[in-house]
Chains A and B, each alone.
Chain A
Amino acid sequence: MAEPLWQQCLDHLEDELPAQQFNTWIRPLHAERDGDALRLLAPNRFVLDWVKDRYGEQIITFARQQSGNGALRLVLEIGSRKRAEAEPAPSRPAVAAPGPRGDEPTPAARGAAGRRSNLNSNFTFDNFVEGKSNQLARAASRQVAGNPGVAYNPLFLYGGVGLGKTHLMHAIGNMILAQRPGANVVYLHSERFVADMVKALQHNAINEFKRHYRSVDALLIDDIQFFAGKERSQEEFFHTFNALLEGQQQVILTCDRYPKEVDGLEERLKSRFGWGLTVAIEPPELETRVAILMSKAQQTGAALPPEVAFFIAKRIRSNIRELEGALRRVIANAHFTARPITLDFAKEALSDLLALQEKLVTIENIQKTVAEYYKIRVADLLSKRRSRSVARPRQLAMALAKELTSHSLPEIGDAFGGRDHTTVIHACRKIQELKETEPRIAEDHANLLRTLST
């Protein structure tokens, strides 16, 4: 529960401010009471400045009134409360088990930035599904994990997004830790390295930064393509990298492409990346995608029939992340409806996801589709002609426009050659009636609906 005085402020502000402003600027604040100070913590400088400028006066005036303490001061700081205070979610669905985030280090364990391993214990070799596309990368990773600093140094994994680079990287780190529990294994994203360095420079702590990164047993840096164009970071990383290699400490890097193809990366870095082993991960082939789905479903305790796994795997080829997203959507629906996952069920659950164009239907789009379907011109639909061959399609198009868009009836009438809204009402009624009496119209309607909504 929020600090009591702040809770009163919240209730007051929620009444006073538009919902968007309240949710954007006031809700993220965390309040603490400290004698005569009402301390508000904002997640960043931007929010802090905004709140101070726009709402500071209003907040302190109200808080003084409520508390009867005229000496109350408002103190704004950047920071956050300990997340651990929050209660757990009311109930966790079965699908929430090992998710994309899995077992993360608890906030308490995070402590001082840069002093944590950050390894995700959920990513292991055991739950990495092997296939032709990643065999080599997996084998190399196993070797490195077995002989860190010796086998291949650096190990450079590259490939497109969502193919399992990060998974392999964590798996190596976890295995090193399992073999040598005291080992200092550090995983971080390249952005974190850059941010830490910038912070160290600002606080005159660059020597500590260097010492820290050079003292690790294994340094795992993800997505090094984001070093591109950041010269100072590359310079610092270059020296760290050399020191680690000299000390036979393991370096593992991932990148979305072959090192030589990263623009904005220094040549000397590119060439050093090739000193160890560079290995690609390719997009998984169908069988592997099926195996991945089955494995993920099993992890979450969902019963996924193989034919459903094939259905999903055939349609989502791009990467594992999207494959997993689709599976989670199917499982979420199954959980909600308490129905078993069948082929039809999966098709229904994923109908919007698998739609070729995940875009909204427009009146224009409806007119075009209806005209094509009846082999007439869009101009005919908009014209004054009233022959049956044009009038029926026009009525059907109007009915679909009402069904599938949020336009008002006058707007729909306008879009059909400036017709009155009563004409649209008439068209909708007529089509409703015909759908019941004329199978042909019902069929046309169903076909068009399918074309337009997939």
Chain B
Amino acid sequence: MPSAPPAPDEVKASRLLVTLGGGGVVAGMLLVVAFGLTLPTIEANKARELAAAVNEVLKAPARYETLYVVGGALVRKVPDGADPKKIERVYLGYRSDDQRVGFAMVSAEAGFQDFVRIIFGYDPKTRQLLGMKVLESKETPGLGDKIEKDQAFVSQFAGAQAPLIGVKQGKRSSPREVAMITGATISSKAVIRIINNALKRLGPLVDAYPQEGKG
């Protein structure tokens, strides 16, 4: 390929830089403005979605507070300098009389097609689940996506006893068992596995979280 004939380098280079640099500055300013305008709405949307999910799996608590997993324990405040968005969070719901409802935890693992992310509510006193909601899934429409669309499957989790065991349809005989969806066994097993693994990891922290008056 022929290269460009040698041109007066000084003039050309500075003009290139000015054009690109100027363009870059204008672009940057435009983006900062757009970012500033949209950020409040975006954050508000995310907060609303999270609140709705927590409410669903904790059976509509009067309020909930966010706890952070730091150094193997649950704490109310993020240590100085740390980015709260990067730390795993657990949500503690309270009834109107300030009694604890339970903890909501978010976890994700590989399902059938891709990762499945769920949030579930858990009461450490009774070791019972309060609810489960699928936040993100790319499972097969019509089959795997029943883990979020099939109300019969989803409602099993309220009142189920941890740790969960998956069984075939129609064979559920105890609160520890969860009937898996026929034709979506791997997706169903993934949900069960996610909950069990999350409880293995976070259960001790939740149990150890001190009652009111301390912490």
**A is bound by B:** no
A contacts, CB < 8 Å to B: none
